[in-house]
Amino acid sequence: MNVAMIGAGYVGLVSAACFAEFGASVTCLDVDENKIERLNAGEIPIYEPGLEALVARNVAKKHLAFTTEFAAIIGGADLVFIAVGTPTRRGDGHADLTFVCAAARQVARHLRGYTVVVDKSTVPVGTARDVKRIIAETNPSADFDVASNPEFLREGAAISDFMRPDRVVLGIETERAAALLRALYRPLNLIEIPIVETDLESAELIKYAANAFLATKISFINEMSALCEAVGADVHAVARGMGLDGRIGRKFLHPGPGYGGSCFPKDTLALVRIAQEHQATLRIVEAVMHVNATQRARMVSKIRKAVGGSEAGKTLAVLGLTFKPETDDMRESPSLVILPALMDKGAIIRAHDPQGMDEARELLPHGVSYCDDSYATFEGADAVVLMTEWNAYRGLDLRRVLGLMKGNVFVDLRNVYEPEDMSELGFSYHGVGR
């Protein structure tokens, strides 16, 4: 089976490599020439664990190739996946479909023989029908169907999420399209992964509803963490006690500085806009977004209070800048809100991140000192702020940390360490909700 993957970002590149691993013959296309040049030179433009080896293996087997030329691959493809970005549109918060529509137009021009054009990007309800209209208008003689196949992988665990997903969702209109998609996903069917076949609109909405619900769990526990602090309860005990109820579930109840990343923030906002467009309201999702913004502000206040009421002139050793560990992605990272707020009030920032520092240099205000070694951040610091729970920060030599610091404040925004242990070591320790 010949597959064309349009977009070589986090989703396109991982999906292309995984479909190739399933045995399909995949060509991944991007309009970013530099990205494709690097991929053709054997370099992976993003940090995603396991991806380099998977790509190399499938390129060597000639199951996977990269190009910038639509004309070279679309005509021979059975399935064309659109996996381009759908960021927040400036000004109104809707999903920006510029890239999806441009890809659809470019694909349309080169279609030859029956082809299924599949939206993998996260797109508002109705987009598959828009893509269908664009293709039909651009190339009236094209023989094609559209389908929706939203992606649920997480950055940092993308390959295992793709290879062993909880489910595959297929929005389809014809049996012919369904048969091709089922054949592509057959390796997952063999390991009994549920496949949800539904209409285009439902498939599109499932993706937003799932992300909004996960964001709801996070905002719920973050709000509980504030209450725990007020009443003297431990949010971890609360989360465990709640989460052991199978109807609630334990996952995504970890408090922190608020959710970030390229998806939850933009997708919750886009979902609210979709509802508004259809004269519906989503009060819960609106509240989830509000609580997330509040949580970031609450973290700024927490750090301020921990260093004695004013961050002016205080040196903060910041561990982790990316929105979560095991990725170099800085999009909507809580650090991009929390650190500028502290710097505005005169805080001095010494920061480390295992993968995110190049990107952070572009996005954070000038004046941050970036340290190649995490221990270098502690030199002369008044306080440590653990922002992202990279494994490298879980096993710190804490006596050495204290020895390097000027002060003894440790603000753990991910609750990596135990409050009692930290107090015993001599830290003034501040977690979230404990």
Catalytic residues: 263
Q: How far is the CB of 153 from ligand NAD (least distance, A)?
A: 5
Which two tokens mark 401? 């940390």
* Alpha carbon distance 223, 365 (integer Å): 29
| Cβ closest to ligand NAD, residue 8 vs residue 128 | 8
Report the alpha-carbon distance of residue 194 to residue 169 in Å, rounded: 9
Which strand (E) or helix (H) includes residue 213? Answer: helix 200-231
Rounded least distance, CB 153 to ligand UGA, Å: 5
Q: What does 6 bind: ligand NAD, ligand UGA, none (CB cut-off 5 to 8 Å by kind)?
A: ligand NAD
Are 93 and 286 in contact by the 8 Å Cβ rule? The answer is: no
Contact pick of 3, 66, 85, 111 for ligand NAD (by CB under 6 A): 85
Among 3, 8, 205, 348, binds ligand NAD (CB under 6 A): 8
Restricted to residues 14-43, the positions that interact with ligand NAD (CB under 6 A) are 29-32, 35
407 binds, among ligand NAD, ligand UGA, none (CB under 5 to 8 A by kind): none
Report if residue 153 touches ligand UGA, rule: CB under 6 A: yes
Residues 227-286 that bind ligand NAD (CB under 6 A): 262-263
When the beta carbons of 108 and 153 are compared against ligand UGA, the nearer one is: 153
Binding ligand UGA (rule: CB under 6 A), the pick from 154, 198, 340, 408 is 154
Helix (H) or strand (E) holding 28: strand 25-29
The CA distance from 91 to 200, in Å, is 28
Q: Which does 347 bind (CB under 5 to 8 A by kind): ligand UGA, ligand NAD, none?
A: none
Smallest distance from ligand UGA to CB 211, Å: 5
| Least separation in angstroms between CB 32 and ligand UGA | 19
Distance CA 96, CA 108 (A): 20
Question: Would you say how long the chain is, in residues?
Answer: 434
State yes or no: residue 338 binds ligand UGA (CB under 6 A).
no
Q: Which two tokens stand for residue 274?
A: 């979709």
Q: How many Å apart are CA 170 and CA 165, to the nearest integer?
A: 13
Cβ neighbours around 336 below 10 Å, total? 18
Nearest to 128 by CA among 216, 43, 206: 206
**If we measure between CA atoms, which residue out of 158, 130, 228 comes closest to residue 10?**
158
Q: Which amino acid is at 33?
A: E
In three state form, how does the secondary structure of 243-266 look?
HCCCCCCCCCCCCCCCCCCCCHHH
Cα–Cα distances in angstroms (integers) from residue 117 to residues 31, 78, 81, 425, in the given order: 18, 9, 6, 59
Kindly indicate which of the ranges 47-55, 260-268, 281-289, 311-319 contains the residues binding ligand UGA, using the contact rule CB under 6 A: 260-268
Residues 122-151 that bind ligand NAD (CB under 6 A): 122, 151
| 35 interacts with, out of ligand NAD, ligand UGA, none, CB within 5 to 8 A per kind | ligand NAD
Taking 3-state DSSP, the helix, strand and coil percentages for the chain, each rounded to the nearest 5, stand at: 45, 15, 40
Integer Cα distance of 63 and 193 in angstroms: 24
Scanning 94-102, 261-269, 280-288, 369-377 for contacts with ligand UGA by CB under 6 A, the matching segment is: 261-269
Query: Residue from 6, 82, 263, 413 that binds ligand UGA (CB under 6 A)?
Result: 263
Binding residue for ligand UGA (CB under 6 A) from 35, 63, 254, 302? 254
The strands making up 369-370's β-sheet, listed across from edge to edge, are 369-370, 348-352, 315-319, 383-386, 409-412, 428-430
Alpha helices in 23-126 (DSSP H): 33-40, 51-60, 70-73, 98-110
Q: With left for phi above 0 and alpha for psi between -120 and 50, is residue 426 left, alpha or beta?
A: left
Q: Closest CB to ligand UGA among 180 and 215?
A: 215
Tell me if 103 contacts ligand NAD by CB under 6 A.
yes
Q: Which is nearer to ligand UGA, 58 or 122 (CB)?
A: 122
Q: Does 7 engage in binding with ligand UGA (CB under 6 A)?
A: no
415 lines the binding site for ligand UGA (CB under 6 A): no
Closest contact distance (angstroms) between CB of 214 and ligand UGA is 6
Single out the segment in contact with ligand UGA by CB under 6 A; choices: 60-68, 257-265, 280-288, 347-355: 257-265
Considering only residues 3, 9, 21, 229, which one is a binding residue for ligand NAD as defined by CB under 6 A? Answer: 9
CB closer to ligand UGA, 252 vs 375: 252
Query: What residues line the site for ligand NAD (CB under 6 A)?
Result: 6-12, 29-32, 35, 83-86, 99, 102-103, 106, 121-122, 151, 153, 155, 262-263
Query: What residues line the site for ligand UGA (CB under 6 A)?
Result: 122, 151-155, 211, 214, 218, 252-254, 256, 259-261, 263-264, 323-324
